[in-house]
Structure 1
Amino acid sequence: MQGTVDGFSYGLVTPLVAYLMACLGGALGLRCTTRALLVAHSWRPGWLALGSAAIGSGIWTMHFIAMMGFSVEEAPIHYDKATTYASLGVAIVMVGIGIFIVGYKGASGTALFTGGTITGLGVASMHYLGMAGMRLNGKLEYNTFTVAASVVIAMAAATAALWAAGQVRGLMWSVGASLVMGLAVSGMHYMGMAGLSVHLHAAPGSTSGDSPAALLAPMLIGPLAFLCLAGVVVMFDPLMIMGKPDWAPAEHKPGVPAHPAVEHTGRRAPLRSRRDEAQRRSRTPQGR
């Protein structure tokens, strides 16, 4: 017996709110990734870790807000908390691996492809592991084509977003990238859901039970609070409006050593060496 699936129990409310959460997580995560490319190596892991957690929390929150609008008419839905939170962990870890690759290897070439692929697979893994945490009197069945299409969308979106983060072109560039990423992540979610059908077991019994919103709302408190905290950190960062990087030559003042993360290469170092040598010779008495 096929169940009657409704993915929009609250109309457009859940898709719109879910999209906004995906954009928020993407904006914070990409902002942190961009910021990591502008700081010394000692600070880079912290910004990349914050960006990974922000993107992972954002897409996880987006998924389960969207799932608040998902229902099966003939069967109540419950969620296994262990599997649900495991999907959050998978999202953060896999997104983190991809972001760290790009953060240290650069947003181009093989590093970008590898980082984007792993990040996209993290988004898809979060989605389908979260779906595996659903408990109802039936079996979830997926269309192979739509599942494959949703994974491709996730990988393409992640690669494009990481490429945009590596361009370092300003706040509006990051905002635009986050809007695109939010659209792609939401599209991936609803593409996967479009290929879902529910085969109910015989004698479903009572259909009474808590609504998906009542079940999921308490689980969302933690990730939502984290996103707010991450937003505060990004907002109060002094270089939020893409100021000059910590190692910018324009910020080096006479008498102040350059940042230790910067290697003095090119013409500047030899010129300084010749000048110092000339000063040393001028202070040395003739004939000595």
Structure 2
Amino acid sequence: MSPVDHFSSGLVTPVAAYVISSVGSMLGLLLTSRARVVGGRAGAFWLVGAAFAIGGTGIWTMHFIAMLGFSVPGMTIRYDVPLTVASALIAVVVVGVGLFLTSYGGDRLASLLGGGLLTGAGVASMHYLGMAAMNMSAHVSYDPAIVSVSVLIAVAAATVALWFTVRVSGALKIGAAALVMGVAVAGMHYTGMYSMSVTPHHGPVAVPGAQAVDFLLPLIVGTSVITVGLLLAALLSPSEKELRNEAAYRERLRAHDEGAPEVDLFGTPRR
């Protein structure tokens, strides 16, 4: 069995992964707070953006950056491109499903727990699919007990994250919640990685796939474009406070119109 190094680049990869996870989570919480206020189709648009922010940036990009620090001394590691792409899609889809289920489920506890279970299981699947995308001249095995713990962490983290999306608003609260979500996502990742054991094959074996650095430039460009685009959309749209004030103003106008007496052409109330 070969030793596994999860921090071959020192603290660079775990710190960068945590920062990315927190930024994606913060942006996602900002977008879900907008979705709660506007509702309807506009709210669905913000939820889709939040799924990309949390699932794509906060979870999958964090996972891949952390994987850049993974190595097995003396062994070449390559990545299966289709499986890696599939893991990214899973992260976005399961987070999106959880957000919609929780957001449109009202205050029902069943919606929150069901969304947390579904999203957490999906995130865990994404994580282990991303690990399965690694090709190396070795047999990879996992400790079932530690895998179970990582799945429980994923479900708990997803449930808390979804609760944040329907409850948290305001810059300070969103920032604090994002830092907590970053810890939870990173904790799940490194717990899952700790469950891995690697036994080298005897003799030379060709290792197919792409190098980690081949993903690096597309990853940075894609993440930057999506994150900046969503951030600009949030910054250029009315703030949550402005949206709430506008909604309250429209409600007052509607109530006034419903209670106003019918008048004739000269503004005289009809009897």
Q: If the length of structure 2 is used for normalisation, what is the TM-score? A: 0.88
**Which AA in structure 1 matches 2:73?**
E
How big is each residue's C-alpha offset from its partner over 1:102-121, in whole Å with a ceiling of 9 and x where there is no partner? 12113541111111222222
For residues 16-95 of structure 1, the aligned pairs below 5 Å read 16-58=15-57, 59-95=59-95
Confirm or deny that 1:176 pairs with 2:161: no
C-alpha distance in structure 2 between counterparts of 1:85 and 1:219, whole Å:
12
Secondary structure (helix, strand or coil) at the match of 2:74 reads coil
C-alpha distance in structure 2 between counterparts of 1:205 and 1:274, whole Å:
81
Percent identity among equivalent residues?
A: 40
Change in CA separation of 1:273 and 1:33 when aligned onto 2, cut-off 3 Å: closer
C-alpha distance in structure 2 between counterparts of 1:210 and 1:53, whole Å:
24
Secondary structure (helix, strand or coil) at the match of 1:139 reads strand
CA contact (8 A) 1:164 1:173 kept: no
How big is each residue's C-alpha offset from its partner over 1:50-100, in whole Å with a ceiling of 9 and x where there is no partner? 000111111111011001110111320000111100100111111110001
**Which AA in structure 2 matches 1:157?**
A
**Which AA in structure 1 matches 2:35?**
A
CA shift, 1:236, in A, is 2.7
Q: 1:276 matched to which residue of 2? A: 261
C-alpha distance in structure 1 between counterparts of 2:246 and 2:105, whole Å:
18
Change in CA separation of 1:206 and 1:43 when aligned onto 2, cut-off 3 Å: closer
Change in CA separation of 1:215 and 1:173 when aligned onto 2, cut-off 3 Å: same
How big is each residue's C-alpha offset from its partner over 1:105-144, in whole Å with a ceiling of 9 and x where there is no partner? 1354111111122222222111111111111111211111
Change in CA separation of 1:34 and 1:106 when aligned onto 2, cut-off 3 Å: farther
C-alpha distance in structure 1 between counterparts of 2:229 and 2:247, whole Å:
29
Q: 1:120 matched to which residue of 2? A: 120
CA contact (8 A) 2:80 2:210 kept: no
CA shift, 1:24, in A, is 1.1
**Which AA in structure 2 matches 1:109?**
L
The structure number with the bigger radius of gyration is 1
CA contact (8 A) 1:76 1:210 kept: no
Q: If the length of structure 1 is used for normalisation, what is the TM-score? A: 0.83
Q: Any unmatched runs of 5+ in structure 1? A: 259-267
Q: Over the residues paired in the alignment, what is the CA RMSD in angstroms?
A: 2.6
C-alpha distance in structure 1 between counterparts of 2:114 and 2:210, whole Å:
42
C-alpha distance in structure 2 between counterparts of 1:105 and 1:206, whole Å:
50
**Which AA in structure 2 matches 1:111?**
S
CA shift, 1:243, in A, is 4.1
CA contact (8 A) 1:30 1:178 kept: yes
Confirm or deny that 1:189 pairs with 2:163: no
CA contact (8 A) 1:78 1:215 kept: no
CA shift, 1:180, in A, is 0.6
Q: 1:98 matched to which residue of 2? A: 98
Q: 2:142 matched to which residue of 1? A: 142
**Which AA in structure 1 matches 2:182?**
G
